[in-house]
Structure 1
Amino acid sequence: MKNPKVSVIMPVYNAEKYLKDAIESILNQTFLNFELLIINDGSTDKSRTIIESYNDPRIRLLNNKENSGLAKVRNRGIDEAKAEYIAWLDADDISHPLRLEKQVKLLDEHPEIGICGTWVKTIGTKRNHKWRYPTNPDFIRCRMLFDDPLATSSVMLRKELLVEDNQYFDLNYPPAEDYDLWERLSYCCKITNIPKILTFYRLHENQTSKMNALQQKSSVWNVQERQIKRLNILYSDNEKQIHRKIGAWQFDESKYFVSLANLWLLKLQKTNSEKHVYPEPAFTNVLAERWFFVCRGATGLGRITWSMYWNSPLRKHSEFYKHIYLFAKCIIKWES
């Protein structure tokens, strides 16, 4: 492929168990003008043999003699990619046949969008979980303060975003280098997700995020901390722990936790109203979403949680059905 529209970059390291499914999910795309750039990162299993068994001109194989790590492999893929758009797919995940077609269409029609992900469905050890990522670009940028609203195996982006500003995966953020990159790029372009399940994300015991969980938590916090510093907020140890838990969707069923979470979220809101770091009303809507889930995780406290939820100014920025849902959950505990 001399002039492909899309370069699909697939890093591979000892992925023989799932590799064939990943490769064929790209070869079977309805969109045809792509190259599949597979980088074999020093695999010691049968991965290279599996790749070389395909006789398809759209496949381009690069072999690393030794394992260099995911971030370096992805960066090599950026440099080697020939196309206008770069799409990512890990060797244990699967793309829906319409994925590339849908994403190319969106990027072609919306030049203001620089990065496009999709909704995701899990396969493997925990099947059929649906990850409905946000689609509003302002909301996505604001949510970066708490977590990564993109699945890397679903992402397609404009190559020029990376090479013109020298934006690469930072080796200092493993294995959250993708979260770090998306957050940096959110200041350069708009980001969206197609609200359709076009990516299938495999959950299994040997994936990088599980094997390096502690390192990932540290890197995730580093991305979040630099955003808090942009707000010029001095945070306490308690506030740090509250933010990390809220960001990881971990909520304690205690009055103390709910109270501290409310104070921290309101502090973020107040500071942003003064500093104008994040766009409104998206930022307050993100805070309100987290506030709802904090309280949902504490419905066992009954009337205490309901009273704290209702008395917080953030409640005013949640949808009415959430009020009804939370009240019903709390009243059941209250009466029991």
Structure 2
Amino acid sequence: MKQQPLISVLVPAYNHEKFIRKTLDSILEDDYSNKELIILNDGSTDNTEQEIEAWLKDNKGNIPVIYKYQKNCGISKTRNSLIEKSNGAFLVFISSDDYLLQEGIRKRFNYLADNPEKLAVFSDCIVVDENDHIISESGLSGYYSANKENLKSDKKRKKELVTNWSVPGGTLMIKRETYNKFQYDESLLIEDLDFYLKLVSQNKLGFIDEKVSAYRVHGANTCMKDENWVKIQKDIINTYKKNLKRFSFSLQLRMLYKMAINYKPLLIYKLKKKVN
């Protein structure tokens, strides 16, 4: 029987003491056997460190693990550092508040094995709250507003991602060679939009309509913090701007429209702040 390739599961951990054990348990319990776990604690200030160390002690020898602690660097730099520390031919990110669903790794690997022209594949997920209650059975079309029929089509996927970005975290698998061409932009707080646009612009991104993970929604999500709102709006505008040349003229017009939509609330916010 042919040896399964090594798959690295990469966990950027930050202040998720309540959720990190479930994340790590889900990786261990996933049925894909040839995998390694890489955890990078990005300067957590709660008990995430202690929870990770306790889990590692309880599960010593059950899975190959690399664990490192660093001063807080932000999500994009942490993702790039995790990639550098990994050894797998395929890479899966899962945040320290989310968790994998059974067969989530295998389903994505099978797609990439059957579609060698693709560098990456993303999928659907369920959405849960901080108590593991299911909020939505589909992160793409239930919690967000993606048209999954468009995502299934190579011809329509590009337009769907450009005009209707609706992809939760924790659903992407990437071939290692992808990072020879693309890396996460460390200046961005919302780093995945830029990464997806780069991939889909070259028709290197696939999609499978399978639920492979649980995306957790709670008050500490990066995108939900009020202090990050302005930065996120600017990041979205700058991401579309820097990727404009990768797309056709018709999609460029749509991207300019998206930039205008995100600029409007920024302008209102600045005007209100100036008045106050």
Identify whether the pair has TM-score above 0.5, normalized to the shorter chain.
yes
Partner of 1:313: none
CA distance in 2, matches of 1:42, 1:18: 16
Q: Structure 1 residue 244: deviation in Å?
A: 4.7
Matched, 1:121 2:138: no
Moved more, 216-225 or 139-148: 139-148
Pick one of 99, 104, 116 that aligns with 2:104: 99
Shift of 1:103: 1.1
Matching residue within 133, 140, 153 for 2:170? 153
What's the offset of the Cα at 1:4?
Answer: 5.8
Distance across 1 between alignment mates of 2:123 and 2:103: 11
C-alpha deviations, 1:233-252, integer Å up to 9, x for none?
Answer: 8x99xx95x535878xx9xx
Structure-2-length-normalised TM-score: 0.77
* C-alpha spacing 1:24/1:38, structure 2 compared with 1 (3 Å): same
Question: Counterpart of 1:216 in structure 2: which amino acid?
Answer: I
Q: Name the CA shift for 1:65/1:79 in 2 (closer, same or farther; >3 Å).
A: closer
1:226 Cα shift? Answer: 3.7
Matched, 1:20 2:34: no
Distance 2:239 2:100 in 1: 28
Query: What is the match of residue 45 of structure 1?
Result: 46
Check 1:16–1:206 CA distance in 2 against 1; reply closer, same or farther (3 A cut): same
Any conservation in 2 of the 1:117–1:151 contact (CA below 8 Å)?
A: no
* Farther-moved stretch of structure 1 (106-115 vs 80-89): 106-115
Instruction: Return the index of the structure with the highest Cα Rg.
Output: 1
Following superposition, the deviation at residue 40 of structure 1 comes to: 0.9
Task: Answer yes or no: is the 8 Å Cα contact 2:40–2:70 preserved in 1.
Answer: no
Q: Matched residues in 2 for 1:142 and 1:128: separation?
A: 25
Aligned-pair CA distance for 1:228: 4.5
CA distance in 2, matches of 1:155, 1:183: 13
Q: Which whole-Å CA distance do the structure 2 matches of 1:114 and 1:148 have between them?
A: 19
* 2:114 paired residue among 104, 109, 126: 109
Change (3 A) 1:74 1:144: same
Q: Flag the structure with more relative contact order, 1 or 2, with Cα contacts below 8 A and sequence separation at least 6.
A: 2
For residue 52 of structure 1, give the secondary structure of its aligned residue in structure 2: helix
The residue identity in structure 2 corresponding to 1:203 is V
AA matched with 2:195: L
Counterpart of 1:105, as a letter, is: N
Matches within 5 A, 1:39-188: 39-53=40-54, 54=56, 55-57=59-61, 58-124=63-129, 127-128=135-136, 130=138, 131-132=140-141, 133=148, 134-162=151-179, 164-165=180-181, 167-173=182-188, 175-188=189-202
Unmatched segments (≥5 aa) in structure 1? 251-336
Q: Deviation at 1:42?
A: 1.5
| 1:255-270 equivalent positions in 2, closer than 5 A | none
* 1:227 Cα deviation after fit: 4.5
Task: Give 1:51 deviation, angstroms.
Answer: 1.5
Distance 2:34 2:213 in 1: 19
What runs of 5+ residues in structure 2 fail to find an aligned partner? 142-147, 266-276
1:40–1:61 CA contact under 8 A, matched in 2: no
Q: CA deviation at 1:177?
A: 1.2
Please say if 1:11 is aligned against 2:12. yes
Among candidates 238, 256, 263, match of residue 222 of structure 1: 238
Deviation at 1:78, TM superposition (A): 1.0
Q: Which residue identity does 1:209 align to in structure 2?
A: C
Percent identity between matched residues is 22
Would the aligned equivalents of 1:137 and 1:190 in 2 still touch at CA under 8 Å? Answer: no
SS in 1 for 2:16: coil
Shift of 1:34: 0.5
Deviation of the 1:191 alpha carbon: 1.4
Query: Aligned with 2:162: secondary structure?
Result: coil
Note the C-alpha offset of 1:65. 3.6
Instruction: Kindly provide the amino acid, as one letter, of the partner of residue 169 in structure 1.
Output: Y
